[in-house]
A and B are shown apart, each in its own frame.
Chain A
Amino acid sequence: MSQTNASNTATPRGGLLPHPILSVILLVVWVLLHQNVRSATLVGGLLVAVSVPFFTRRFWPERPQVRRWGALIRFAPVFLWDVLVANVQVAWLIVNVWRELHPRWIVIPLDITNPHAIVTLANVISLTPGTVSSELGPDRRTLLVHSLDVPDEQAAIDFIKRRYEAPIREIFE
């Protein structure tokens, strides 16, 4: 499996910019925090954006690689919509005291092996319908998920695999 991981993630080059995306994010955050775009701000921001990834590069041995940006753009609205719907559902379950909850542990077998894809899937699961990802199996092939109200376990597994895992797999692999 380690070989699969190696082929799915690029090892950063040893140059001045080991993580370009991280550098861009640092620069944007710096400018936002200063609330202006004067040249002094930009110079300081560039200094931070170059030096922080450079000096911490040993903490980030791998770089996440998005293979298909189109899939990411198509997945984003689905995800945001599901976050909204999930929140209303969970809020309703909390407020409705007369309805009995059916909490369940679900084990989701994973098809994806890329660690960044698994992290994304776990976070997406935590933010969407009544589920919190709790633990990754020792062999990284299963994900233990706690769900707040699930009458049918297999249907929930199929739903997560179809709606979230398939697009994430398309994005990363």
Chain B
Amino acid sequence: MILDVFVGTLVIIGAVFTLIGSIGLARLPDFYTRLHGPTKATTLGAGALIIASITHFTVSQGAVNLPEVLIVLFLFMTAPVSAHLVARAALVRDVHSVTGGSSTAGGHRRPDHQPGADEPARVDLEPSPPSGTESGPQVPR
């Protein structure tokens, strides 16, 4: 009975968080704010629901039902990675942003930058440049 309530509560919490994540995706004003809903709320919602499922099947089958843990772990590992990749792609594509910026620093591209002023920074493939260039001014590469 107590387990029944526990599973039911987790299902409701998970479903509500999933829904809120998608509401964020539909409602928020620009791409970068929309990204927050799916990466956080939806991932946690899925986690809560799958934990509920694990508990339910562990009790009803009398044996520990662990394989679904794999889904939770996989979702929690991939959510930040895909969010980062998508955000970087959006920065390169110059997607419209309502975000107030701080000072431009560190050679980062901003959505409000001059179009064509720089090329995509090649941060993921190349090792860092030799130490001679590091002390110089930040030149977009």
- List A residues at the B interface (Cβ < 8 Å): 1-2, 29, 32-33, 35, 83-84, 86-87, 90-91, 94-95, 97, 101-107, 109, 122-123, 125-127, 130, 132-142, 144, 146, 148, 153
Contacts and interface: CB of A to CB of B under 8 A. Distances in A.
Contact residue range for chain B? 35 or more
Given A29-B70, A35-B67, A103-B33, A140 B128 contact: yes
Residue among B69, B108, B131 with the highest chain A CB neighbour number at 10 A: B108
Given A84-B44, A91-B17, A95-B20, A132 B67 contact: no
B81 interface: yes
Given A29-B70, A136-B124, A146-B32, 6 more contacts: A32-B69, A101-B28, A103-B33, A107-B106, A139-B107, A140-B123
B128 A137 contact: no
B108 A144 contact: yes
Contact of B35 (A95, A132, A138): A132
B100 interface: yes
B83 interface: yes
Interface in B54-112: 66-67, 69-70, 76, 79-81, 83-84, 87-88, 91, 98-103, 105-110
B3 interface: no
B99 A138 contact: no
Interface string B114-126: 0000000111100
Given A29-B70, A103-B33, A137 B39 contact: no
B100 A103 contact: yes
Interface of B: 17, 20-21, 23-24, 27-30, 32-33, 35-37, 39-41, 43-44, 66-67, 69-70, 76, 79-81, 83-84, 87-88, 91, 98-103, 105-110, 121-124, 127-129, 131, 134, 138, 140-141
B99 A104 contact: yes
B108 A94 contact: no
Question: Which 6 residue pairs across A and B have the least CB separation, nearest first?
Answer: A142-B106, A126-B80, A94-B24, A134-B87, A137-B106, A123-B80
A27 to B, nearest CB: 13
Residue among A90, A101, A105, A139 with the highest chain B CB neighbour number at 10 A: A105
B67 to A, nearest CB: 5
18 contacts: A32-B70, A90-B36, A91-B21, A94-B20, A94-B37, A103-B30, A103-B32, A104-B99, A105-B101, A107-B108, A109-B106, A127-B40, A127-B76, A133-B80, A133-B84, A138-B121, A142-B106, A146-B87
A27 B28 CA distance: 43
A141 B138 CA distance: 11
B128 A139 contact: yes
Contacts of A83: 44
